[in-house]
Each structure stands twice: as C-alpha cells, then as structure tokens.
C-alpha cells in the first residue's frame, strides 16, 4: 500500500495536452493495474498540476488515455481536499435538490482563458483510489465544479462543449489573447511574463 502523501511530491513535470488533440476528445480506458508505474504516473500528474497552478488534472491532460484524475482543491468551507479518483462515476442532484451556480471556469488545456458556466453546487463522485480501494467523495463549492470538470475529461468532454456558441467564442478570444504566455511544452517551460503591449492588464 502506498500513502497518498508519497505521491504528491517528487514527480516529473509533463507537457499539458491542449484542446483539439485527439486524446482530449475520446473516452478513456478503465484502470486495472495498480502498480509502481501507475504510482509514478500519478506523481508526475501532481508535479504537473502544481507547476501549472491548477486544482485538478485528468490523465488525458498529460496525453494518457487512462480513466483517472487528481485534485487538490478547496471545498465550500475552504478546506483543501487532495486525492486521486480512478474509474469514477458521478452523481449530481436532481429536481428540487439541484442548484446551479454560475462561476468562472477555466481549463489547463486551454490556458489563460475563463468564462462563466453554471454547474450544480454539489457532486458525488465514486471510484477507486491509487491503491485500488473504493472511495467516495461529496464535493461542494469549487470542489464540486472540479469533480464535474475532471470527470467530463474522462468521457472526452471539455467544458467548452457545455457552453453556448457566444460563450465559447468569448472563451477562445480570451485564450488567443493570452496564448503567448504558454509555450507549446508548458508547464515544462514556465509561464511567460505578461506583456502589456499584447493584452490588457487584468
């Protein structure tokens, strides 16, 4: 058995896959081997997510088609929840229990760009942990959004697929204005300095 604490440090930073690359838009393959190779891969995912300053990362975002994602994300009480979710299923509230919250959302695979997207304020995610043990997590606040966003990735969906044509256009425009800051191998290469001649200051 491997402790999660041993996987959140020590990995190698990998290039983050971008929207449009085939692995980002295809269904993933269930994980069946919980071995050293998987654990080293998860270490690399944590190193990559940390370098990119993200709160979640799916395997497809580093070019791998396995059904897993990682997260280090605050819930509605600002508690930082860290974990690995493998072969996940997601349950969302329905009917009178369903409350949609519009919030700015972005994706490390379309770096720099954000646009508002309404999602349910709670999410129940079930799957396996890094050792293959069953795990269940109720997400609230940003963590609820993260669980939904990352699970979408494992089914070949990016959050742009959930946007109206108008919002999608605004998202791509935002990305285009900031793309110069993210080199092709980002975050292996660090985020480039802000250039006021190329975009407006935030």
Active site residues: 150
User: Using CA atoms, how far apart are residues 41 and 39, in angstroms rounded to an integer?
Assistant: 5
Given a contact cutoff of 8 angstroms between Cβ atoms, the answer to whether 2 and 131 are in contact is yes
Q: What are the angstrom distances between the C-alpha of 175 and each of 111, 130, 138, 158, 159?
A: 7, 33, 31, 14, 14
Whether residue 107 contacts residue 149, with contact meaning beta carbons closer than 8 Å, is answered with yes
How far apart CA 124 and CA 77 sit, in angstroms, is 17
Q: Distance of CA 119 to CAs 21, 31, 100, 112, Å?
A: 25, 27, 5, 20
- Distance from C-alpha of 59 to C-alpha of 198, rounded to nearest angstrom: 32
Give the phi and the psi of residue 46 in degrees, each rounded to 5. -65, -40
In angstroms, rounded to a whole number, what is the distance separating the alpha carbons of residues 175 and 182? 10
């Amino acid at each position: 058995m491997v402790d999660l604490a041993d996987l959140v440090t020590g990995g190698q930073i990998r290039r983050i896959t971008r929207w449009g690359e085939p692995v980002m838009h295809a269904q993933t393959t269930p994980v069946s081997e919980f071995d050293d190779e998987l654990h080293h891969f998860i270490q690399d995912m944590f190193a990559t997510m940390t370098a990119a300053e993200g709160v979640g990362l799916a395997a497809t975002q580093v070019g791998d088609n396995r059904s897993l994602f990682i997260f280090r994300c605050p819930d509605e009480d600002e508690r930082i929840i860290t974990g690995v979710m493998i072969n996940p299923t997601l349950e969302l509230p329905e009917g009178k229990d369903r409350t949609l919250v519009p919030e700015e959302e972005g994706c490390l695979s379309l770096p720099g760009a954000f646009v508002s997207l309404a999602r349910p304020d709670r999410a129940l995610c079930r799957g396996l942990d890094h050792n293959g043990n069953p795990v269940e997590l109720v997400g609230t606040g940003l963590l609820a959004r993260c669980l939904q966003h990352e699970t979408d990735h494992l089914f070949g969906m990016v959050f742009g697929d959930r946007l109206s044509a108008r919002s999608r256009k605004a998202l791509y425009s935002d990305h285009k204005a900031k793309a110069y800051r993210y080199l092709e191998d980002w975050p292996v290469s660090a985020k480039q300095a802000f250039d006021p001649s190329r975009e407006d200051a935030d």
